[in-house]
Amino acid sequence: MRKAIERLTQHEPRRGRAAAPLLVFTVALVGVLAAAWAVWEGWRPQPPIPEERFVVDDPIVHIPKAGLIARVAVKDAEDTLRVVEALRRGGVTAVALQATAREMSNAIGRARAAFVGRVLIGVSGVYGVQDVEEAVRAGAEFVLMTGLEPESIRICQDARVLAIPGAFTATEIRQAWSLRTGLAALFPAGQAGPGYVREVLREAPGISLVAAGGITPENAGEFIRSGAAAVVASDDWGVGEERDDDAIARRARAFVEAIDRARMRPVRPAPPMRPIEGPDIR
């Protein structure tokens, strides 16, 4: 028995030396396979996103959820359809149109008909009760204001249209909130900075602020991280016939990705391509 044990003991170190390279090889192989799987998961084609992923709902719900309003100046209805489609391809689902009084009604109506259920169509740059009434009659889903006008807010509320009044000081912001608007726009936010948003919300945590004025893809995320419910992308988006639709989509995409990163959520893929639909209501 003693001799048998001695023979086994003499061979044990040799077995250990033989097993060591095999163990190293196994560990290395597992590491390579894990890395290859991670690369495949990151690069493999993703399944198409359901169209419902981009369906919009009530403005008071959707704007904070999306975190972005694109404000764009348009010259006529055709220009409106073109730029809104480019913005939509970039992932934008809420657009505030700026147009002349003569073109406002037609631009809103055409855009609403073409993008129903896919893009919220609102207005920006309206001044006074008359302009607000016209925008509401034309079908605007929200009105983005640069000031605090109680009568204009009342007109919107009576028509069940979301009013987003503009304010700057803490007193103005509280006044806008007291009018039960749901959202208040800090304007000009770029001048105040993200730190100002943080301070206002620290004093009045129940207020939902939309940062407007001076917002770029580079600072949009900072405003979101500071507590802004949404930001307004104020970009020239090109002018008239000089607009580059692909450039507009890329610029819009930069805003969308900045907001998604700030909220630490997966970056939203671009929506599926669909032709502009809807009747010509001119």
Over residues 180-225, the pLDDT tens digits come to: 888 999 989 988 899 999 999 988 878 899 999 999 999 999 999 9
Backbone angles phi, psi at 276, to 5 degrees: -65, 130
Q: How confident is the model at residue 35 (pLDDT cuts 50, 70, 90)?
A: low
The CA R_g of the chain, rounded to the nearest whole Å, is: 28
Q: How confident is the model at residue 74 (pLDDT cuts 50, 70, 90)?
A: confident
Q: Report, as an integer, the average pLDDT of 238-256.
A: 82
Q: What is the DSSP letter of 229?
A: S
User: In the prediction, which pLDDT does 207 show?
Assistant: 87
Yes or no: say if 167 and 184 are a contact pair by the CB < 8 Å rule.
yes
Between CA 107 and CA 75 the distance in angstroms is 9
End-to-end alpha-carbon separation of the chain, Å? 105
Residue 96 reports pLDDT greater than 70: yes
Between CA 65 and CA 178 the distance in angstroms is 22
Bigger pLDDT: 127 or 113? 113
Bond into 48 cis (ω within 30):
no
Q: Report, as an integer, the average pLDDT of 106-118.
A: 92
Q: How confident is the model at residue 53 (pLDDT cuts 50, 70, 90)?
A: very low
Yes or no: say if 108 and 97 are a contact pair by the CB < 8 Å rule.
yes
Q: Which helix (H) or strand (E) holds 58?
A: none
Residue 16 reports pLDDT greater than 80: no
Yes or no: say if 145 and 151 are a contact pair by the CB < 8 Å rule.
no
Yes or no: say if 200 and 185 are a contact pair by the CB < 8 Å rule.
no
Residue 178 has which token pair?
């007291």
User: In the prediction, which pLDDT does 265 show?
Assistant: 63
Between CA 120 and CA 131 the distance in angstroms is 19
Looking at mean pLDDT, say which of 3-17, 153-167, 178-192, 238-252 comes out highest: 153-167
Between CA 165 and CA 163 the distance in angstroms is 6
Strand partners, 99: none
User: In the prediction, which pLDDT does 258 show?
Assistant: 95
Between CA 49 and CA 11 the distance in angstroms is 62
Distant-in-sequence, close-in-space partners of 200: CB < 8 Å, separation ≥ 6: 170, 173, 186, 207, 209
> Tell me, what amino acid is at 11?
H
Between CA 50 and CA 271 the distance in angstroms is 9
The pTM score is 0.74
